């Protein structure tokens, strides 16, 4: 475990100052969150360094953990042991998950009279079918949108459709993610034999970024891969000057579904244990990198919050439940399984909060509820001023794994973090521990711990939002919860 994180004397003094003597127990029963607890939670999160040490155990000790893999199973058992060591009640809830295996992958621009052969840096998209052993070789057709493919009609037949785009910042993810998830089937409907998509990335050192895709029922399944930003630019230049052929070889395959688990832990409330504040993060990651930002950071933040809350005497008024969901990346089976298994008690889920935007600095709090949420929580945000996170932010809160709870009108709360560089490493080999700043992770953990306590302790509850239009909650992909709400792709 690393030594305590360095903090300025002024900041640590502000957060851990000795409080006034506590009020008598009878008076405390009806009071809201106290500054005494703020000092305990925030000071400990900042000074003890547990979140980063735990993240190191998960990323360096276990590594990639795609659902259905040995890594995912090891992560489940690690999380269970960790909660038990912290003295937090924990149990496992079964989930059946897809099992997709990457295999070998390669691509190249076939040499022509205009240029020599160029190898391409590619990565199969999660869920893609493989190619024949000899690969698929075809002319590349560059497009910028799904509608453009449909408009080109017969010109698509027999081609490898290459979806190019202009993602430059985190907020662009929602604009272009549909190219990755839906592009293969849209292209196949017009007769394409393969699909490439420019990686959804805000930085690149010729590093492709994977991600989930899906096939429409009744449509031919064509092999699909992400290509690095640099090689996407190469293809763009070559195609602009004439015909270009690419050979694509993918060894991926989908195996039978596997047995797995959501890891569920909770700190039972002292007064209203039936009312639940849910904190979620996803334990699975892609099979590349070690899932440090996505979503190891979120996992360790919610685990550390549970550890800190479990030490409070008395316990929070309401129950705080942590769910480490399985299969967020390529199926959302964990989120759906939790909503189904707990359908009878979702009416008593007074708030749900998901951490899935990396380990950046905290920025503030957002809500998805009926009017009145800000007024309920804002008076208790002052302890976050020292972290720069005492603001109520525009836009809604949300998250992929908690989205199946939307029909039950569960209020969502978001502790947003700085996700401006999140897509530099998202879904790539570069998503490793060294990309996470220990102090930023500790600060966001501190903010989460305090907001979670406020939600569990405040006398009132958040007003429940209206139920969403039918199936709106099933739309995918969602932008990470730390980014502004995107327009629909």
Catalytic sites, residue numbers = 328
- CB neighbour class for 146 (10 Å; exposed up to 12, middle 13-18, buried from 19): middle
Burial letters 446-465, b for 16+ CB under 10 A, else e: bbbbbbbbbbbbbeebbebb
- CB neighbour class for 131 (10 Å; exposed up to 12, middle 13-18, buried from 19): buried
Distance CA 33, CA 104 (A): 54
Distance CA 291, CA 294 (A): 5
C-alpha closest to that of 380 among 18, 32, 119, 1: 32
DSSP 3-state helix, strand, coil percentages of the chain (rounded to 5)?
35, 20, 40
Contact of 161 with 194, CB cutoff 8 Å: yes
Contact of 323 with 299, CB cutoff 8 Å: no
Distance CA 190, CA 154 (A): 7
Q: What is the DSSP letter of 212?
A: B
Could you count the other beta carbons within 10 Å of the beta carbon of residue 150? 14
């Amino acid at each position: 475990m690393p030594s305590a994180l360095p903090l300025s004397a002024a900041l640590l003094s502000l957060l851990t100052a000795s409080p006034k003597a506590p009020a008598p127990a009878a008076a405390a029963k009806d009071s809201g969150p106290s500054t005494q607890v703020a000092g305990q939670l925030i000071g400990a999160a900042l000074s003890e360094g547990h979140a980063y040490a735990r993240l190191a155990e998960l990323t360096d000790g276990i590594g990639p953990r795609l659902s259905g893999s040995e890594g995912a199973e090891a992560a489940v058992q690690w999380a269970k042991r960790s909660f038990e060591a912290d003295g937090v009640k924990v149990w496992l809830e079964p989930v059946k998950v897809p099992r997709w295996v990457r295999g070998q992958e390669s691509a190249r621009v076939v040499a022509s009279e205009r240029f020599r052969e160029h190898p391409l840096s590619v990565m199969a998209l999660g869920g893609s079918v493989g190619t024949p052993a000899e690969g698929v070789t075809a002319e590349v057709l560059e497009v910028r949108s799904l509608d453009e493919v449909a408009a080109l009609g017969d010109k698509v037949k027999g081609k490898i459709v290459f979806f190019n785009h202009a993602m430059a910042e985190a907020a662009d993810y929602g604009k272009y993610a549909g190219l990755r998830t839906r592009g293969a089937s849209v292209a196949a409907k017009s007769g394409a034999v393969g699909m490439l998509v420019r990686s959804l990335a805000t930085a690149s050192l010729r590093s492709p970024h994977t991600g989930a895709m899906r096939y429409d029922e009744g449509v031919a399944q064509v092999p699909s891969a992400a290509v690095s930003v640099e090689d996407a630019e190469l293809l763009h230049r070559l195609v602009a000057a004439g015909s270009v052929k690419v050979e694509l070889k993918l060894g991926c395959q989908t195996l039978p579904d596997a047995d797995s688990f959501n890891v569920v832990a909770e700190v039972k409330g002292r007064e209203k244990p039936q009312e639940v504040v849910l904190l979620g993060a996803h334990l699975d990651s892609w099979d590349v990198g070690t899932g440090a930002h996505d979503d190891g950071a979120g996992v360790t933040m919610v685990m550390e919050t549970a550890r800190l809350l479990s030490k409070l005497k008395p316990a929070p008024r309401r129950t705080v439940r942590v769910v480490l969901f399985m299969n967020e990346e390529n199926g959302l089976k964990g989120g759906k399984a939790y909503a189904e298994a707990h359908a009878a008690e979702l009416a008593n889920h007074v708030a749900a909060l998901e951490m899935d935007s990396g380990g950046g600095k905290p920025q503030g709090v957002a809500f998805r509820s009926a009017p009145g949420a800000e007024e309920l929580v804002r008076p208790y945000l002052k302890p976050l001023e020292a972290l720069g996170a005492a603001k109520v932010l525009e836009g809604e809160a949300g998250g992929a794994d908690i989205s199946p709870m939307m029909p039950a009108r569960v209020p969502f709360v978001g502790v947003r973090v700085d996700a401006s560089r999140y897509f530099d490493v998202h879904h790539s080999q570069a998503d490793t521990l060294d990309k996470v700043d220990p102090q930023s992770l500790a600060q966001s953990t501190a903010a989460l711990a305090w907001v979670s306590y406020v939600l569990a302790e405040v006398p009132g509850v958040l007003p429940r939002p209206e139920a969403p239009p039918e199936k709106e909650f099933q739309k995918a992909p969602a932008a990470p919860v730390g980014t502004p709400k995107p327009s629909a792709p």
